[in-house]
Amino acid sequence: MVMSDAMRAAAIAAVLLAGSCAAPVNNGMGLTDDPDMNHPIVLDTAPKSVRLSFSAADAGLMPEDAARFDAFVAQYKSDGTGTVSVTAPSGPTAQQTLSYFGERLAAAGIPRSRIMVGTREDGDWRVELRYIGVTAHAANCGDWSTQQASDTASNLPMANLGCAVQHNIAAQIENPRDLEEPRALGPSDAMRRATVMSAYEKGTPTAATKNADQSVAVSDVGH
């Protein structure tokens, strides 16, 4: 039986498709051709804190401490879990200090139910903000134990396959918790949705219009 070119191409495509759906190949040393299995990204938790100078008499933060406060809040929104604790030195102004930071955290978008306040007696007069953060990391690369320059016939995966990619993913992800489950969608723009639906029902274009200044061609970039 003579196989036509079309039949031969279909057979090759079927083989390639079957290979792409196959289970990860194990090289007999506990390694597969799946980087997610060889170099899994692990989530760990660790406390993160900042201590800020605050004077109840001034009722505010110095610019440098205000910047550190904002950075702390942004970091909490990125990788924080649980509550934010605020502790101030015990004393006559402790309640005023805690009230100030509680209000400032709430104004920055942290739910009041996640703000815990209290006093401490460690001799440090600064205010401490603390939370438990989530970090993502992968195992160290550089394992050349299965690197066999002369072994080219087996076509088996090596220990470092995909390790750098996994490290990059762990370092670049904004919120490590996204690796566990997707975050909830934000609210939709009701006004924009109504505009698009109205245009669709009328049979008019639904895309937003651009003026001449907003229309840029690839060839214009850099000029």
pLDDT digits (tens, 9 = 90+) for 110-149: 999 999 999 999 888 999 999 999 989 888 887 776 655 5
- 3-class state of residue 60 by DSSP: strand
Give yes or no for a contact between 50 and 65, defined as CB atoms under 8 angstroms apart.
no
Report which of 51, 28, 53, 26 is spatially closest to residue 37, judged by C-alpha positions.
26
pLDDT band at 1 (very low <50, low <70, confident <90, very high): very low
Residue 199 predicted with pLDDT over 50:
yes
Is 84 within the bounds of a domain? yes
Angstrom CA distances, 14 to 9, 21, 174, stand at 9, 11, 39
Domain-embedded: residue 169: no
Domain holding 99, by residue range, is 42-137
Q: Give how many domains the chain has, as a whole number.
A: 1
In a domain, 220, yes or no: no
CATH number for the domain including 111? 3.30.1330.60
Q: Flag whether 58 is in a domain.
A: yes
Q: Is the pTM of this model over 0.85?
A: no
Assigned domain for 118 exists: yes
Query: Which residues make beta-bridge pairs with 115?
Result: 84
Q: Which of 72-76, 121-125, 186-190 has the lowest mean pLDDT?
A: 186-190
Residue 82 resides in a domain: yes
Q: Judge whether 204 lies within some domain.
A: no
